[in-house]
Chain A
Amino acid sequence: MTQLILRRLLMSIPLLLVVSLVVFVLGSLVPGDPAQTILGVDATPDAVAALRDKLGLDQPWYAQYFHWLSGVFHGDLGTSLYSGEPVVTTLAERLPVTLSLVSLSTLFCMVVGIGFGMLSAVRGGFLGRVVDTLSLAGLALPNFWVAVVLVTLFAVKLRVFPATGYTPLMTSPFYWIVGLVLPVCALSLAGIATIAKQTRSAVLDVLDRDYVRTFRASGVSEWSVLLKHALRNASIPVASVIGIHAIASLDATVFVENVFVLPGMGSLATQATLDHDLPVIEGVALYFTVIVIVVNLCVDIAYGLLNPKVRTA
């Protein structure tokens, strides 16, 4: 188990290098002069040259990359080309928003998705069709569209939830959660659907197993069969789907944060894209990758806890 985690962590080092390198290499392929782009066409050649020097643009890309990389080890991700603020500072402000969204959405999907999946596995029929329809909708409706519709319905028409804005958890847990209800719903539709589907098929699979028959033949109650044995064994494949959803919802925050004007990393990345702010993008990419690694690690740990074969290996 510990070995597994260590191996995962080791494997994540090349991943981080690859992601940052890809962004860098792509950056070096850009035709034209970033300094010129930043300063605009009216800038004097002197000013451009000064900026080039400051950004280290005259060095070859690998030298720039190593410079950036050594910065990373000192907790320095460069400064934003646009605001001039250190990227680390900006990201530190943005991180809690995105993390709140992703973790709440994951939690929400888990509870609702597993609940739906269990119910439809046992009750079948109508509920099964509800889950099927829901998963079609979850697959089909783009999350940014769902977000806009939610804003229209619940914020503009019914005025039950705020349309935009973010309140930090520390300031007011109540407003924190109220503000996140709609974005989390928009993020979760697809996740609920896929988790419910996976739960249903996994539970049905387990219920067909011999050991379930063993318990039934021994007079063990149906509740225990379902909630203890079926759920426990079904949770192993479901865990990986939950991990996949967590990663997908991280990506989706880019869209959803924009609709709800939440000051997270996703909206930051969008703005940075519009501003040509490469250091910020590079910083966000790094953070996102780290989050992906952490999620995968959590899934691995969950595997270990749920599956004795992994734990005792």
Chain B
Amino acid sequence: MTIATSTENSAGPSAGGAGAAPAGVIHAILRTPVGLACLIYLAIVVVACAIAPWIAPHDPLFQDLHAIGKGPNAAHLLGTDMLGRDVLSRLLYGGAYSLGGVLTAVVVLLIVAVPFGLLAGYAGGRVDRVISRVIDVAMSIPVIIILLAVLTIFNRNMTAAMIVFGLLGSSGLIRVVRGNVLSVREELYIDAARVIGLGPAQIAVRHVLPRTSGAIIVHVSIFAAISLGVQTGLSYLGLGVPPPAPTWGGMVGDAATVIQTNPWLLVPSGGVIAITVLAFGLLGDVVRDATSERAKTATGRTRLARRRGATADQKPAAAVVRDATAALLEGPNSAALLSVRGLTVAFGADDAATTVVENVSFDIFRGECVGLVGESGSGKTVTALSVLGLLKRVGRITGGSVSLEGHEISGLPEREKRRFRGTEIALISQEPMVALDPSFTIGDQLAEVVRSHARMKNKRVSRAAARKRAVELITAVNIPDPEVVAKRYPHQISGGQAQRVAIAAAIAGDPKLLIADEPTTALDVTVQAEILDLLRSLQAKNGIAVLLVTHDWGVVADLCDRALVMYAGQIVETADINRVFQLPLHPYTKALLEASPHLAVEGEPLPAIPGSVPRPKDWPTGCHFAARCRFATEDCLAAPVPLLKVGEERASRCIHTDQLMPEGRLVPEAVR
């Protein structure tokens, strides 16, 4: 069974459109030690309590006057209480009462919640609205007081109380079931079932219910834990069966009256309640983890792969082959603004690290704009972020150097990194809407950035001055009504404006280098052009250098002086922009250009590169592009391909560049 259930967390039903049959859930429980232990414990307790009359060593009511308040001993394994009654026997008999109460509540819960949840989710419309309203109200009912009322009315009948408890608790489960049904309902095979002609009830029972079972089990086990707490609490108060009949809660109550003389009695009674509650609770956690884990593997993988460039998969670091040219590279170029040499980045823990960026070297000079181009998964964003030392916790730089105006910055402690972030190198992220804190106004956020830059330079800027500067910055990025916009929250402005604000934040510290990670990808086409214009004018006016991370050749052509093409963690080609467009000297660059929508000839089908970027753990020893390359030969896979110099200030990581060149022109030479 490869499908898993989506379960509701506090935020609501997860959108994982996968489900698990009950058998799968049980299998998942049995596989984890904790789940197995809980299940075994619960099984033992339930069975032992159920057959208490046959296995209890003593009559629970028999008062042994010779053994009053004794600790554990051979005759009484858990000792005796102050009336000389055997504690173990009382626990066994009392358990039948307490667990019976839990069972009652759970059964009522299921009988009420499952059909109503299915109904609300499946019928939708007015039925759903009515049920949801009722649930909203039911959720706010003070449960314990109602239970007390029930106990008053039904003359301390605990069964009645637990039935009501199940009833009141069902609103939570109805929500869970409804949420799951809603997400399952949208799926194709439900439509298929409808086409086959199954009725709604049949579909619900046959298709929807099995896939909701994981979520139901999670909820039920947590509910069982809570109801045991409530049941024992009520018996503790003496509101259930009257003494001398044994109950778990009542035994805590008895123990409480003699804590001075015999504190031991609190241990078995409290212990059995605590461990049983814990077992129910942990069981719920295990099922939740198991089901959400599998939902993740089923549906989340592609998303993860896309976002992180498929870096989550692991490959032993030892197996990574270092680029043969590493030793031949020249040292950092101190004339450059930014000089990156042999940058290598790995994700994951030491013993299972996967290299995701391999031996990347490049320079950026003052005022120039360099495009870092490649498909998703090529490692370009990771490269850009590691320059700033902003990799997420899982990623770290494992080799190479990053130097800014001749000073090494890659190994600096976090405090020192703050000295150059924003004031030397600044960042513009891909998605402007999430790049701003939703809880603060635009003006506040910009002012904060302004003030922290000042603090870094040991200057003080008053709130009012920072505020004024914020408005100036908003003006500088050409947003109309800067005063008004400053008072707005991120959700009140458009995506294009948000990106302008992000740019304003980035230029607040007068940086020399701007790293722009796909700055226009999330925006409308018309807005894209405006943002690019803004970047260009900033570059011209303030002499800022830009490292533009993008997969869009149009953007590169529009803005950049040079291009760095990345593929599967490596730089595969670097050249002046005009020459790249005229004559790409790496098969990947060529294929990318051919696939680019901006260069496609109208009316002709758009060429796409067959295949996809290999995941880091699948990188071959030889050329990373070999699997998709139409010029590939056996030599390409034999050994790592170094970056080869091809003509003036150009390099390509390909041994067959001659294939790409018009007859008899440049021949690749010297290793670089």
Given A11-B136, A140-B281, A211-B437; A289-B152 close (CB under 8 Å): no
A50 to B: closest C-beta gap in Å: 23
Chain B residue contacts of A272, Cβ below 8 A:
148, 152
* A224, B452: Cβ atoms closer than 8 Å: yes
Given A254-B145, A285-B145; A218-B426 close (CB under 8 Å): yes
* B260, A156: Cβ atoms closer than 8 Å: yes
B649-665 contacts to A, CB under 8 A, are: none
B131-152 contacts to A, CB under 8 A, are: 136-138, 140-146, 148-152
The reply on A169 being an interface residue by CB < 8 A is no
Interface with B: A41-49, A66-74, A86-94, A273-281, which one? Answer: A273-281
* A285, B149: Cβ atoms closer than 8 Å: yes
* A307, B452: Cβ atoms closer than 8 Å: no
* B266, A218: Cβ atoms closer than 8 Å: no
Which of these, A15, A281, A307, contacts B137 with CB under 8 Å?
Answer: A15
* A219, B270: Cβ atoms closer than 8 Å: no
Chain A residue contacts of B421, Cβ below 8 A:
216-219
Chain A residue contacts of B419, Cβ below 8 A:
219
A231 to B: closest C-beta gap in Å: 10
The reply on B508 being an interface residue by CB < 8 A is yes
Cβ contacts A216-249/B at 8 Å (1 or 0 each): 1111111010001100110001001100000100
The complex places the Cα of A142 from the Cα of B229 at a distance, in Å, of 6
The reply on B237 being an interface residue by CB < 8 A is yes
* B233, A144: Cβ atoms closer than 8 Å: yes
Given A15-B137, A269-B148; A29-B456 close (CB under 8 Å): no
Given A144-B252, A156-B260, A211-B435; A274-B238 close (CB under 8 Å): yes
* A19, B146: Cβ atoms closer than 8 Å: yes
The reply on B453 being an interface residue by CB < 8 A is yes
The reply on B636 being an interface residue by CB < 8 A is no
The complex places the Cα of A16 from the Cα of B116 at a distance, in Å, of 23
Cβ contacts A192-216/B at 8 Å (1 or 0 each): 0000001000000000111101111
Chain A residue contacts of B438, Cβ below 8 A:
211, 233, 307-309
A137-179 contacts to B, CB under 8 A, are: 139-145, 148-149, 151-152, 156
The reply on A27 being an interface residue by CB < 8 A is yes
Chain A residue contacts of B263, Cβ below 8 A:
152
Which of these, A217, A284, A309, contacts B145 with CB under 8 Å?
Answer: A284
* Interface size range on B against A: 35 or more
Closest to B142 in A: A288
* A308, B142: Cβ atoms closer than 8 Å: no
Closest to A259 in B: B256
The reply on A84 being an interface residue by CB < 8 A is no
Interface with A: B272-280, B298-306, B326-334, B536-544, which one? Answer: B272-280
* B449, A22: Cβ atoms closer than 8 Å: no
A50-87 contacts to B, CB under 8 A, are: none
* A152, B449: Cβ atoms closer than 8 Å: no
* A270, B506: Cβ atoms closer than 8 Å: no
The reply on A105 being an interface residue by CB < 8 A is no
Q: List 5 A-B contacts (CB under 8 A).
A: A26-B153, A209-B434, A228-B448, A229-B437, A273-B239
Binding site for B on A (CB under 8 A): 11-12, 14-15, 18-19, 22-23, 26-27, 29-30, 136, 139-145, 148-149, 151-152, 156, 198, 208-211, 213-222, 224, 228-229, 232-233, 237, 240-241, 247, 250-252, 254-255, 258-259, 269-270, 272-274, 276-278, 281-282, 284-285, 288-289, 291-293, 296, 306-309, 312
Binding site for A on B (CB under 8 A): 10-11, 136-138, 140-146, 148-156, 225, 229, 232-233, 236-239, 249, 252, 255-256, 259-260, 263, 266, 269-270, 273-275, 277-278, 281-282, 385, 388, 390, 392, 414, 418-423, 426-427, 429-431, 434-441, 448-449, 452-453, 455-456, 489, 491-492, 502, 505-506, 508-509
